[in-house]
Amino acid sequence: MPNRILSKFVVAIPKNEKIVLFNTKNAKTISIPESIYTNGEYLENRLTYNLLQKEEFLEDKFEIYNIKNNNLVGEKTLRIIILIHENCNFRCVYCYEKFKKGLIKEDVFKAICLFIQKELRTHKFKKLAVGWFGGEPLLGIRKIEQMSTQLIKLADEYKVEYISHITTNGYLLNRRNHTILQNVSVSDYQITIDGMLDYHDKQRKLINGQGTFKVIWNNLINLSKASSNFTVTIRANVSGENINNMNRLIDSFKKDFGNDKRFRLYFVNVNYWSKNNISTILKRDIRAELFEKAIAKNVSVMNMKAFINPCAICYAAYENSYVFGSDGLVYKCTVALYDKRNIIGKILNDGTVLISQSKHNLWLKDISIKENKKCFNCQILPICRGNQCPYKNIQKNTNVCPPTKKSLEKYIKIFLKQEKCDYEITF
Ligand code: SF4
Ligand code: SF4
């Protein structure tokens, strides 16, 4: 047999007297009894060897080449995020938006539809993924309805899959708006809740300063009574101030949504999102710690695959990914809205997108073009591709390692609690 060395992109994780091999090139898992792993017997066995080879667990002199070529240029998804309403009914203490603009302009609305039609006409895409963002997108619910109807028609006409999600503060997610969204295939919601009422209401207030927790939580409870198919990710932004509030959030989530698999929790470290930030930024990656706590209480959390899949990178790193402002400006990232490097162009009324290719290239740092020793020797290269958050890379002018690098084993261990291994080897 030729090569019998495991690829450097394979991570070995001990689990209940077994070793689970996790392949960062394809997120596949193989479980092997510890003794057989230790004495290397599994590599001598013809069947096991064939499996390891088929699933790319063995070192291969072409593997870097293959990872490089599994690049994003051939991506078959057209990703569009629309800032449908750039004002907001909230004034969160850490928010970076300036609220100078409002509802999407009619000519911009039409131009985006024309642009998408031109792109789909090329038959390069198999999927159209549309995200509704703001400000607060539900302030423009009728426009979402109108525009979605047109986009669904286009997806049908060009026979591409259509998926749609919304990032909302949840305050206006009442039954009426939920029904409108369901009718136009918006079936994935991300809603931020920063802890229980006492903390959340200090962070996420209405323009008039009133708290928002009760209305949002009530909307979510009503949503859970609907029979429709959707997913809700409740995102908690965690800082030094609210970390101790998370236990109560997990408990309340369990009480009200614990049996509903459509709901799940997601934790994010508060970061330097705006100059207004007054929270204590936690240096350690709190995600794994809180996911583990939630899972121990049998609470459903985001699937770890989102962090450890190959190409688990930001949408901004994809070539066919655009964020359209309500006034027709074209961006890559929804965080850096006031950074000139992020304003890569403008859409014209006829649907032409005028883009500065040099600015666009800043976001698409492709490992097949820019060789980088640090990344090529990194076990999570297939996951991160040296460009997990292009905006951080642009700011620091280097490839910034994501938290996944340090927490990889923890994430894999949680993943192994969420999903069974792909293969179990028993001799
Ligand atoms: S580029 Fe970075 S900051 Fe911008 S949306 Fe992506 S992950 Fe967030
Ligand atoms: S940026 Fe860091 S984590 Fe990402 S591939 Fe390069 S070395 Fe690895």
Strands in 28-156 per DSSP E:
29-33, 77-85, 127-134
Q: Is the pLDDT of residue 327 over 50?
A: yes
Q: What is the pLDDT of residue 332?
A: 98
Q: Is the pLDDT of residue 1 over 80?
A: no
pLDDT in tens, 99-119: 889 999 999 999 999 999 999
310 pocket-lining for ligand 2 (C-beta < 6 Å): no
d(CA 308, CA 11): 12
Q: How far is the CA of 2 from the centre of ligand 2 (A)?
A: 30
**What's the rounded mean pLDDT across residues 84-92?**
94
* Number of the ligand 1 atom closest to the C-alpha atom of 363: 1
Q: What is the pLDDT of residue 275?
A: 60
Q: Model confidence at 280, in pLDDT bands (50, 70, 90)? A: confident
Look at ligand 1, atom 7, and give the residue with the nearest C-alpha: 389
Residue 265 to residues 103, 243, 259, Cα–Cα distance (Å)? 30, 14, 13
382 pocket-lining for ligand 2 (C-beta < 6 Å): no
Higher pLDDT, 161 or 367: 161
Instruction: State the helix-helix crossing angle for 286-296 and 246-257, rounded to 10 degrees.
Output: 40
Residue 417 to residues 15, 143, 295, 300, 414, Cα–Cα distance (Å)? 10, 41, 8, 11, 5
d(CA 35, CA 14): 11
Q: Is the pLDDT of residue 214 over 90?
A: yes
In this structure, what token pair is assigned to residue 300?
């459903």
pLDDT in tens, 2-54: 567 999 999 999 999 999 999 999 999 999 999 999 888 888 888 999 999 99
Look at ligand 1, atom 2, and give the residue with the nearest C-alpha: 389
Q: What is the pLDDT of residue 371?
A: 56
139 pocket-lining for ligand 1 (C-beta < 6 Å): no
Q: Is the pLDDT of residue 68 over 90?
A: no
Q: How far is the CA of 307 from the centre of ligand 2 (A)?
A: 14
Q: How far is the CA of 401 from the centre of ligand 2 (A)?
A: 5
- Can you tell me whether residue 153 is helix, strand or coil? helix
Contact between 407 and 287 (Cβ < 8 Å) = yes
Q: Name the nearest CA neighbour of 55 among 71, 32, 81.
A: 32
Q: What is the pLDDT of residue 369?
A: 45
> How high does pLDDT run on average in the chain?
92
In terms of Cβ atoms closer than 10 Å to its own Cβ (0-12, 13-18, 19+), residue 103 is middle
313 pocket-lining for ligand 1 (C-beta < 6 Å): no
Please list, in sequence order, all residues whose beta carbon lies within 8 angstroms of the beta carbon of residue 318, skipping any fewer than 6 positions away. 72, 75, 77, 79, 364
User: Would you list the DSSP string of 341-376?
Assistant: GGEEEEE-TTS-EEE-HHHHHHH---TTTS--HHHH
Q: How far is the CA of 317 from the centre of ligand 1 (A)?
A: 9
Given its phi and psi angles, is residue 143 left (phi above 0), alpha (psi -120 to 50 degrees) or beta? alpha
Q: What is the pLDDT of residue 156?
A: 98
381 pocket-lining for ligand 2 (C-beta < 6 Å): yes
pLDDT in tens, 369-405: 455 788 888 999 999 999 999 999 999 988 999 999 9
Predicted structure pTM score: 0.93
* Number of the ligand 1 atom closest to the C-alpha atom of 314: 6
Q: Is the pLDDT of residue 368 over 70?
A: no
Q: What is the pLDDT of residue 413?
A: 96
Q: What is the pLDDT of residue 291?
A: 95
Question: What Rg do the C-alpha atoms of the chain give, in angstroms?
Answer: 23
Q: Which of 75-79, 280-284, 409-413 has the lowest mean pLDDT?
A: 280-284
CA 233, 239, 244, 246: dihedral to nearest 10 degrees? 0
In this structure, what token pair is assigned to residue 230?
């959707």
Q: How far is the CA of 49 from the centre of ligand 2 (A)?
A: 29
Q: Edge-to-edge, what's the strand order for the sheet holding 321-324?
A: 263-269, 231-238, 186-192, 161-168, 127-134, 77-85, 321-324, 329-331, 343-347, 353-355
What phi, psi does 338 have (nearest 5°)? -110, 10
314 pocket-lining for ligand 1 (C-beta < 6 Å): yes
Q: Which of 93-97, 188-192, 319-323 has the lowest mean pLDDT?
A: 93-97
Which ligand has the nearest atom to the CA of 334? 1
pLDDT in tens, 124-148: 999 999 999 999 999 999 999 999 9
* Number of the ligand 2 atom closest to the C-alpha atom of 385: 5
